[in-house]
Amino acid sequence: MITRRGFMKVLGGGLVSAVALGSYAFGIEPLARLRVARYALTPPGWSPGLKLRLVALADVHACEPWMSARRIASICERANDLGGDVTVLLGDYASGMNLVTRYVHSSEWSKALATLRAPLGVHAIMGNHDWWEDRTAQKSGGGDTFGHRALAGVGIQVYGNRAVRLEKSGFPFWLAGLEDQLALLPGRKWKRAWMGGLDDLDGTLAQVTDEAPVILLAHEPDIFPKVPSRVALTLSGHTHGGQVRFAGHSPVVPSRFGDRYAYGHIVEGDRNLIVSGGLGCSIAPIRFGVPPEIVVVDLG
């Protein structure tokens, strides 16, 4: 039988542990950690002899104190040191939280991202928060968001249902980027009864005119079941790995497929998807078991 003193020790230990875990999830993992997640694969149909390194950054969610312009620039410096042939940005540059001390303006986070360097360029797509936080874009139901304009203004190529043919050492490949799948919010003020996407997978892939391998950038991984095997690799963000992840499982994931596409390298048949855990936070500034990360993918 447990004594009162023993019970108080157990209770006190539990409270200390809870405070420690909360402090780590709130103040350490989101703010002080940064890891590099590395993947190496040769997808079916990949061109023999083509060796390509991709460096991917996702879900910056610029805001203070969690993701200041200075911190973004520091992450970019780390990314530049990873030797990527191509650097890709997978969307959600705008903050997705109200628990901030200051919102970082697009002119600031784009300037920080402009420090990224790669021999074959820096290429970007938009995310849902980049659309949701732009009232003008919501009202018009299309066009460019402030995110499109900010990135283009600093020389970063932005893809919205577009495919571009690139080459490394004489070997061609295609980089294709979808517009966001959750871009348009429902609501009376927008005169929409449902959420709408602006992605056009078929139209984007129709721009591919030869048999060179295709790398697809899609902010939300939920498009993956529709992606044909013609695409060598799909790269996504959006989920943040659930932001809280225990023993390889995320209890809450912003996806209609639940934990299926929450994080990491997913292989279905002969198709490959890599989902980044991202860098910032949305809804709440908490991360546990899925620290901010830069993704490196070595293909071939």
CA quadruple 205, 207, 213, 216: dihedral sign: negative
Greater pLDDT, 231 or 188: 231
Q: What is the mean pLDDT of residues 6-15?
A: 40
Position of tokens 């003193």?
5
Helix (H, G, I), strand (E, B) or coil at 33: coil
Pair type for strands 35-41 and 122-124? unpaired
Q: Do residues 47 and 7 share a domain?
A: no
Q: What is the pTM of this model?
A: 0.91
Q: Do residues 22 and 66 share a domain?
A: no
- Domain at 274, CATH number: 3.60.21.10
**Domain assignment of residue 25, given as a range:** 1-32
Q: Do residues 252 and 115 share a domain?
A: yes
Q: Do residues 111 and 2 share a domain?
A: no
> Distance (Å, rounded) from C-alpha 128 to C-alpha 132?
6
Q: Do residues 134 and 246 share a domain?
A: yes
Q: Do residues 3 and 126 share a domain?
A: no
Q: Do residues 26 and 97 share a domain?
A: no
Please report the pLDDT score of residue 96 as a whole number: 87
Say if residue 86's pLDDT is above 60: yes
The helix (run of H) or strand (run of E) holding residue 86 is: strand 86-89
Greater pLDDT, 29 or 122: 122
Q: Do residues 109 and 55 share a domain?
A: yes
Helix (H, G, I), strand (E, B) or coil at 187: strand
Residue 28 pLDDT level (bands cut at 50, 70, 90): low
Q: Do residues 128 and 206 share a domain?
A: yes
Going from the C-alpha of 93 to that of each of 20, 90, 103, 207, the distances in angstroms are 30, 9, 11, 27
Q: Which two tokens stand for residue 110?
A: 């784009």
Q: Do residues 134 and 11 share a domain?
A: no
Is 34 in contact with 292 (CB distance < 8 Å)?
yes
Interval 31-77: pLDDT, tens: 668 999 999 999 999 999 999 999 999 999 999 999 999 999 999 99
Say if residue 277's pLDDT is above 50: yes
DSSP letter for 105, please.
P
Q: Do residues 212 and 108 share a domain?
A: yes
Q: Which of 113, 101, 105 is nearest to 31 (CA)?
A: 101
> Distance (Å, rounded) from C-alpha 127 to C-alpha 197?
11
Contacts of 7 (CB under 8 A, 6+ apart): none
Q: How many domains does the chain have?
A: 2
Q: Do residues 3 and 70 share a domain?
A: no
